[in-house]
Structure 1
Amino acid sequence: MGRIRARLLDTGPIVVLAVIAAVGSFTHISNLANRHGQHGWQSWAVAVCIDLMCVMAARELQRDKRTGRRRHGPLSWPALVLTSGIVLTLAANLATAHPSVWGWITAATPAVAFLVAVSMLERRASHRSTSSHAPGPMDDEQPGPAEAVAAVEVPQLDPAPLTAPGPAESAAVESGPSPALLAYARRLADDHHATHQRPITGDLLATRMHVSPDLAADLLTHLRKEPVA
């Protein structure tokens, strides 16, 4: 309840001022439109269009302040729309005022009051945007991207070689390659020679057979010693 009460006390005067200014400008604009041929609901529609245009432009300015949107040029589109709406309101107020200095001053008061209310709301929106982007006391202690990556533990791989000989390869090294391995190596070597028109290398044979380079070299040695059919 305390927060709601503080919010009402904070924004209440500005809202009341904006409503009074809108009602005053609505009366002046509708009277001017009625005087120049826009009768009945048409005069009200002209006044509502101008007032809602100002309100919409003011809200868009506040949204730009909150989101930190950068404008391209000296004046943003919402600011231009708001300025045009206030100029139209001020012109209607002066046109329907009593032709005297005080008549013009009092007639221009609603438009000026609305402009003041909008500037107050825009100032608050700008202050909230600056506060939300202000660095906190703990921002300096947050790790950067490189530190965050360095802090991740990398699992250690097994240092054993990927081409360590298995039981079959160990037996082949001790007693010579088995006939099955020789037949498989011979078929791979023949297929490679038929496809590429050149002998297969030891590294490629080791990769194709998934064996160690030493065993592949031994197999190639036995294949080269075989008599040509």
Structure 2
Amino acid sequence: MRAYLARVDAVLVQALIAAALSFAHIHDVAMAAGQDGWKAWAYPVSVDLLLVAAWRRLRSGTAKAAAWCWFVIALAASLGANVATAGLLDLGNVPAWLRTLVAGWPAVAFLGGTLLAHSAPVKEAVEVIEDQEDEPETALEPPPQPAIEPMLERPSVPVPSALVDHARKVAAEHHARTGAPIDLPTLRTRLGVPPAMAEAIAVHL
């Protein structure tokens, strides 16, 4: 156990040192490119946050193509800053193309972070549906619809178990209120899912 903790501590210290050095290099490049004050400190934060967001999306297993794209962009920005401070560029006389890249980076980081944040996986969407309260019933009841008929084959659309449990609660509430089984259009409206997903859920009710 002690050997394991020592190994973990060594890895953690190494990671902190590498992160601090990379952070300082990006800050120095931003300063040399004319981004002084708090802006120079914001650049390494934006690069590291985009790198972490892309890595997290890669670990989640969703939208891997976009995650790899933004991971490579953030890694290139970090490596580029590290290489630039190694004496390959004169930081006292930064070329115009580097100033342009540094000035345009905030827009790139904002776009990447927004796209990664809004490409949420299905599990997160199901959790949002569970947290929503049932919509209030309108004054006019819709015309009665035929009850859901059992399907002969299992649907090809995968249905999360959490969504099935939520659908059962909705169906039970509808039956208690109306005395009739819930129909497919009403189930789809209450859950806010596509028709194919509603049919797949109906099999489990």
TM-score range, shorter chain: 0.3 to 0.5
Provide TM-score, normalisation by structure 1: 0.34
Provide TM-score, normalisation by structure 2: 0.37
